[in-house]
Structures are given as C-alpha cells and as structure tokens.
C-alpha cells in the first residue's frame, strides 16, 4: 500500500512539474521540475516512507522502462543504415570520453580513498 | 492455419500485444542476465530491444501498434525521473560534504560527452538535425527527448541515441575503468550514472551498492545540469 500511495504522490509531483513547465514556459522538462519540488517534500517522514517505497520499486526496474523507446529504433532504420558507421563511432567514442572524463575528474577532486579496497568486478 | 493467422492479426493489433511482449521479453532477458552472472554483454535492455524489434520487422507490425501497448510502461519514465529525488535525498550528507567535487565531475563528464558527440558527429559529416539529437544523449531518455525537442532535433532519435549510449556504457564501462585503474566503487558508479544514465545506473545497482547509490546520485544531477545547461549552451552557440 505504501508503494501505491508513494506512486500517486510521484505522479502528483510530476503533474505539478508539467504544469509549471508548460504554464510558465520554463525550458526544463516537467519531471525534472517535479524532482526539484520533491526534494523539500522528502523532509516530511510520512512522505519519505511512501515515496521511498515507490521509488525503490520504480528505480529497481528502471531499465525495463527504456525498452519501448529503444524498440523505436525500428522507425529510424533508414537513417541508421545511412549513417550507421558514423553513429556507432560517435556514440561509442563520446560515451567513453564522458565516462573517462567523469571518473578521472572525480578521482582527482575527491580526497584519497582509504587503501585496502575490494578488487573491481563490475 | 488461416484461423491461426486471423488470431495473430487480432491479438497483435490490441494494446495487450505491446504490453505483454515488452514485459515477457524483459523478464526473460533479465533471467538470462542473472544466469550469466550479470555479464555486460547479456544486458537485458539490449536483448529485449533486439528481440522485440526483430519480431516487429518479421511480422511487419508497425511500431505505433506495438507502442499502443508499450506506452503503459513508457509513461512510467516520468514518475521514475521524479523518483530520482529519492537517491539524491538519501545521499544528501555526501552531497553536502562532497557536493562541489560531485557537481564539478558531473559537469566535466556531461560537457565532455555532449561536446565530443557533437564535434565527432560534425567531423564525420552527420546532418544538423542528427547532431541536435545527439547533444543530450548522456541524459536519461525521457529528459533527452525533452531537450532535443527544445533544440529542434528529433525526440525519437534522441531517445534511441540515449538508449544506445546507456548500453555502450553498461557494456564497456567495466573494461574502461579497469584500464584507467579506477577502483573506487563510488567513482565508477558516479561516472556510469553521468555518462550512461539510467541503463548504466541499473547495471551499477546490480554490481555494487556503493556504485548503485552514486550512479543514482549522478543520474539525478545529470538530469538537472543537462536540462538547464544544454538549451542555454545551444542558444549561446546559435547566437554566437
């Protein structure tokens, strides 16, 4: 029941975010405004309990939510076959550059971690 | 045989088809992924997309027919973006103490990914509307679509690029981090959440709790930063 209540609250926050984005013409996606509005709300323990339960369920299965959009690839096969090789090069290289830039920047910015860490496996 | 074809035509034209196909395929792909010991190549999004896409093409089922059912899963992306506030809130202490470092790293990674995508895309001769759809590819798909729309790109294409980026990150992140000698789970998770959004974060969650938490944090931060900064950067670029 908690998760269901929390889900209703998440939808209400999203609706508020969409209303602000479209009503006031804020150039930020509605759910992002909803996320910002949610943060002060989480200071309330009752909100935290139900929203936390719903968020844990939604975020645990986050990758499922990308499947419908991902299948949309089939509608762009012409473009993808025309520019396929270029797109592969662009997407792979820029993802590696993004990963490396974030990781190296964060490692340089954080204080040295304690020695004796587990070996990497993921 | 004719009855079977009729039955298929009926079933495949109801919203039940898209919803069932998506969930059943994903649950199967997820089970195989677990059996493989969470091997990067067994990524469930990748195999679900390939399997459903192949079925649609083989049966000549138009994407809108599939999406009529799959949209019930797709709409959950909105509340899922809002729900990213939860990992942000849970990690508020880290955000307070390590906030400056995290925001700077998220900025560095986000800018590097978006700028390199547009620059390399331009260098290999991709058309402008494709470049505009590439810029938000490190942001989670629903937000990437919103940003691409504002940049006059193609939202559906932006979503596909975002999903492909997430898969590349989830598939190759481990090897890249090992190569760079990055062992701290927090750093690995944060980088994959920044550059490979939800699909990368989903993988990080399965690999290590610290990596998962920091990936969720990065995902939330990246959504906020990109939503505000990419349209601003595009406007500055167009004006200058």
Residues 13-72 in A contacting B (C-alpha not used; CB under 8 Å): 13-14, 17, 27-32, 34-36, 38-39, 42, 48, 51-52, 54-56, 58-60, 62-72
State pTM to two decimals: 0.82
pLDDT tens profile A91-111 = 999 999 999 999 999 988 887
Same domain, B171 and B121: yes
Examine the fold and report which residue of B75, B105, B121 is the final residue of a domain before the chain moves on: B75
Same domain, B129 and B34: no
CA dihedral A63, A66, A68, A69 (to 10 degrees): -170
Sign of CA dihedral A69, A73, A79, A83: positive
Q: In this predicted complex, what is the ipTM?
A: 0.84
pLDDT at B178: 92
Backbone angles phi, psi at B125, to 5 degrees: 85, 35
Domain residue spans in chain A? 2-62, 72-109
Same domain, B221 and B126: yes
Judging contacts by C-beta atoms under 8 Å, the chain B residues touching residue A110 are: 98, 101, 184, 186-187
**Cβ–Cβ < 8 Å for B204, B212:** yes
Same domain, B8 and B107: no
User: A27 vs chain B: nearest CA distance in angstroms?
Assistant: 8
Distance of CA B140 to the CA centre of its chain: 5
Of B89, B169, B201, the CB nearest to A42: B89
User: Where residue A115 falls among pLDDT bands split at 50, 70, 90?
Assistant: very low
Same domain, B147 and B55: no
* Mean pLDDT within B168-195: 90
User: Residue B216: which domain range?
Assistant: 79-239
pLDDT tens profile B31-89 = 999 899 878 788 888 899 999 999 999 988 899 999 999 999 999 989 998 998 888 88
Same domain, B51 and B86: no
**Cβ–Cβ < 8 Å for A66, B113:** no
User: A118 vs chain B: nearest CA distance in angstroms?
Assistant: 8
Examine the fold and report which residue of B34, B56, B75 is the final residue of a domain before the chain moves on: B75
């Amino acid at each position: 029941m908690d998760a269901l209540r929390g889900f209703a609250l998440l939808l209400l926050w999203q609706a508020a975010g969409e209303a602000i984005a479209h009503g006031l013409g804020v150039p930020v996606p509605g759910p992002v405004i909803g996320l910002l509005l949610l943060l002060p709300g989480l200071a309330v323990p009752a909100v935290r309990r139900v929203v936390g339960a719903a968020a844990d369920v939604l975020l645990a299965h986050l990758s499922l939510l990308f499947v419908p959009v991902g299948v949309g690839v089939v509608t762009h096969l012409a473009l993808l076959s025309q520019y396929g090789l270029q797109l592969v090069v662009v997407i792979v290289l820029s993802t590696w550059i993004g990963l490396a830039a974030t990781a190296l920047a964060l490692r340089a910015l954080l204080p040295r971690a304690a020695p004796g860490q587990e070996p990497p496996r993921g | 045989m004719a009855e079977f074809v009729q039955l298929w035509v009926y079933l495949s034209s109801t919203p039940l088809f898209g919803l069932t196909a998506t969930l059943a395929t994903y649950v199967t792909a997820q089970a195989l992924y677990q059996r493989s010991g969470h091997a990067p190549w067994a990524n469930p999004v990748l195999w679900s997309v390939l399997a459903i896409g192949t079925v649609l093409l083989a049966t000549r089922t138009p994407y809108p027919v599939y999406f009529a059912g799959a949209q019930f899963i797709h709409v959950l992306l909105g509340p899922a973006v809002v729900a990213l506030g939860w990992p942000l809130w849970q990690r508020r202490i880290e955000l307070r103490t390590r906030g400056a470092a995290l925001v700077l790293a998220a900025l560095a990674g986000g800018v590097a990914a978006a700028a390199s995508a547009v620059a390399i895309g331009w260098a290999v001769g991709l058309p402008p509307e494709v470049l505009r759809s590439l810029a938000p590819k490190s942001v989670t798909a629903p937000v990437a679509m919103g940003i691409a729309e504002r940049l006059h790109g193609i939202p559906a294409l932006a979503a596909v690029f975002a999903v492909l980026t997430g898969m590349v990150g989830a598939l190759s992140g481990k090897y890249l981090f090992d190569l760079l000698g990055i062992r701290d789970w927090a750093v690995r998770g944060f980088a994959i959440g920044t550059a490979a959004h939800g699909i990368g974060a989903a993988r990080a969650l399965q690999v290590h709790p610290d990596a998962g938490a920091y990936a969720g944090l990065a995902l939330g931060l990246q959504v906020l930063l990109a939503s505000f900064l990419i349209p601003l950067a595009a406007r500055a670029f167009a004006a200058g």
